[in-house]
Structure formats: structure tokens, C-alpha cells
Chain A
Amino acid sequence: MNNLMVLASVNAADAAPSPLSVNWSELLVVAVGFAILMFIVVKFVVPMFEKTFADRTEAIEGGIAKAEKAQAEASAALDEYKQQLVDARTEANRIREEARSEGAQILADLKEKAAAESARITEQAQTAIAAERQAAVVSLRAEVGSLATTLAGRIVGESLDDDARSGRVVDRFLADLEKQSEGAAK
């Protein structure tokens, strides 16, 4: 009832302004209040919500992009490894082939060297033999000469100690021998 009394008394007191008329004090308060609200909404609420929405979209789409990137990277790495494997095999084959040919080369070189060496040794030996033979011939000739001379001297009693003469005799003797041997050979 109290409430009603208040209403009634205000009713009576007011000269009943039209309910459609503007109350300027109210206009001021609503305008200021709404302006403050708009300011806060424009300045804080909307940017914060929009940022959250954008972040969320970013997080979802970014996740997908990240996964795709990882996938691409993995397949690239796989390709690379495969390529490396192929390369390594080729390389190994090449090295094996090289080693084989190198070995053959070395073997051939060694053979050649050995042959050369043996040829050298043979030649040396031949030279030495020839030299020794020559020496032997010379010393034989001298020795045989003196022996024959001595023998002949004894036989003929003639001293053939004279060098010139003995030399001649020996030469003649040898020439005879050579003639004989040549004749025998014929």
C-alpha cells in the first residue's frame, strides 16, 4: 500500500507530462552511459575477443600447416637418404672397380720390373762370363805359350828364352793349331 501511496502522490504532484516527451536529464545519463560503454567495448572488449578468435584460428590452421610442413620435410629427408644410399652404392662400386684395376696395374708393373731385373742380372752375368772368359783366354795364351816354349826348348834344346823369338814361335804354333782346329771343324 505504501508503494501505491507514493505513486499516487507523485501522480498528483506531477502535472502529468506526456509519456512520449523527452526528459533531458535522462537523455544526458543514457548518452554518457552508452558513450562510456561504447568506448570500453571499442577499446578493450572487441579487440580482445577478436584477438582470441584470430589466435584460435591461427592455432588450428597453423597446426595443420605445421603438420604438412613436417610431412614434407620427412619425405624430403627420405628422398635424400635414398639418394645418398644410391650414391654410396655407386661410390663403393667405383672404388672396388678402381682397386681392381689398380691391383692389376700394380701386378703388371711388378711383372715388368721383375722381368727387367732378371734381364739385367742375366746381362751382367753374361758380361762377367765374357770378361772372365777373355781373361782366361789371355792368361791361357800366356801360360800355354810359356809352357809350350819351355817344353819345346827342352825338346829342341834351343833356348827360346829370347822373347821375340819365342813370341814368333808361339804365334806360329797357335796359328797352326787354329788352322788344324779349323780344318777339323771343316
Chain B
Amino acid sequence: MIALTLPAQDGGSFNPPSVTSHLAPFFTIGGFEFTKQMALVLLSVVIIAWFFVAAARKGQLVPGRLQFVGEMGYGFVRNSVAKDVIGAKDFKKYVPLLFSLFFFILLNNLYGTIPWIQLPSFSHVTGAYFLALLVYVVWIGVGIKVNGLRYFKLAVVPSGVPWYILPLVVPIEIISNFVVRPMTHSLRLFATMLAGHLIVLIAGSGIEFLIAQESWLLKGTSILVLAGATAMYMLEALIMVLQAYVFVLLTAIYIEGAVHADSH
């Protein structure tokens, strides 16, 4: 709990939202609490599926506007992420996963920029855990499928390292590849989203609080907060896009490492 209280002239004190603050669930069935975040996740699935199916369905050689936008989005993940990172020979199989991940994360992040929705789904850590775990299983599976069980040796014993350094290097590789990697993968997304979300919320409630003050001086300072919050809001929008890209880029790099474990 962040203890941040300001002396207030009208008796109230500033009680900002914290990382443990949650909206009440929409409804509860047994132990299942259906929250706004869940509704948004499901909505994102509907929006992404609808948009891309509509864009891809016609399949015209000379695309219309919708198809063009859809092809740009698909082509970005396909060519700039999957093909460039994994290589032209092996990338096709992984395009669906990378594509789904990118737009799933992107849209769920961008919820944070939309007024009244303003809740990036991955500011709750569970979704980020799930996606990182999925990727973790996928790249290890790919590594074993391509290289056999030898993959684990390839993954933790870097080639060209003198044998007497190996006792030092191997544990580091094991920890960094198989333990830290999924954690950083998920927490990076979760932490940036939560931080951005909180900054916007704290700024918003701060403005609300300041405007409610009787002193005109204090009311006036809300403008400063508003200016700062607007700048942060822009930065957050950038980070939301960036984090979706980073997550997918890392996924592609992990898969590439597994596919081409021999040459690393």
C-alpha cells in the first residue's frame, strides 16, 4: 500500500489508487468473479478476429482500404518480426502465434488509452503470466522437436567457451534461459502496463482531488498535474505499442534460438 496522504483543508485526505486497488466485479458466479478486465479481454478477441477476418476475407489482388490495413498489420508481424528474426526458411509455422500475440497484447494494452475504458488488461499479472508461459512451452517444445534432447545441452553450453569456464557459464545460462527468461518476459509487460495505468489513475484522481479543494491556489495546481498527466499519457500510449512489439520480438528471438540452437 502506498501511503500518500496530503493535508487537506476541507478535512478529506488524498487517498490515491494503489496496486491493490481493483474495481468491484461485474458479477460473481460461485467463486468466479467476472470483472471489467475479463470483459475487455474477451472483447479484444472479438474485435481482432472480426477485423482481420473481414480484412482478409475478400483476398483481392488489389486490396481495398480495409484489406490494405489488415495486410499491413499482418505483413508487419509476418515480415518484420517473424521472417526477419526467425529466417525465411522456418518462419511460416510461427506466424499465427506471433500474429495473435502481437495484436492480442496491442489491443489489450491500448485499452489503457481509451477514456472510460482506461484499463490495460495486462496491468493484471495473470494474463502476462499466461502468455509468457505459453511462449516458454512453445520455444522449449520447438527446441526439443528440432534438436532432440540434445537441445538442452545446446541451450546451456555455449560453443567456443574454454572448458574451465564452463562450470561458471552453464549455471548462469540455465538460470538466465530457463528461469529468468519467462519471468522477465511476463513481468516486463505487466509492470509497464501497471505503472502506466497507475500513473494515469493517480494523476486523474489527483486532479479530481485538487479541483475539489477550496483554495484557488490548490485548484490552480491541478493544471500542472493535467499537463504532466497528458505528457505521461502520450508516453504510455507509446509504451503500450512498444511493449506489444517487444513481447512478440522476444518471442520470435526465443523461437529462433530454439530452431537454430545448433548455430548459437
Contact = CB atoms under 8 A, between A and B. Distances in A.
Interface in A24-57: 24-31, 33-34, 36-38, 40-42, 44-46, 48-52, 55-56
Contacts of A64: none
Contacts of A21: 125
A41 B24 contact: no
A19 interface: yes
A30 B100 CA distance: 13
A42 B23 CA distance: 35
Contacts of B21: 7, 10-11
A64 B124 CA distance: 54
A14 interface: yes
Given A36-B45, A40-B49, A45-B56, A4 B205 contact: yes
Interface string A4-15: 101110110010
Contacts of A41: 49, 52, 96, 99-100
Interface in B29-84: 31-35, 37-38, 41-42, 44-45, 48-49, 52-53, 56-57, 59-61, 63, 67, 70-71, 74, 78
Contacts of A4: 15, 17, 205, 208-209
Interface of B: 1, 15, 17-24, 31-35, 37-38, 41-42, 44-45, 48-49, 52-53, 56-57, 59-61, 63, 67, 70-71, 74, 78, 92, 95-97, 99-100, 104, 121, 124-127, 129-131, 134, 187, 194, 205, 208-209, 212
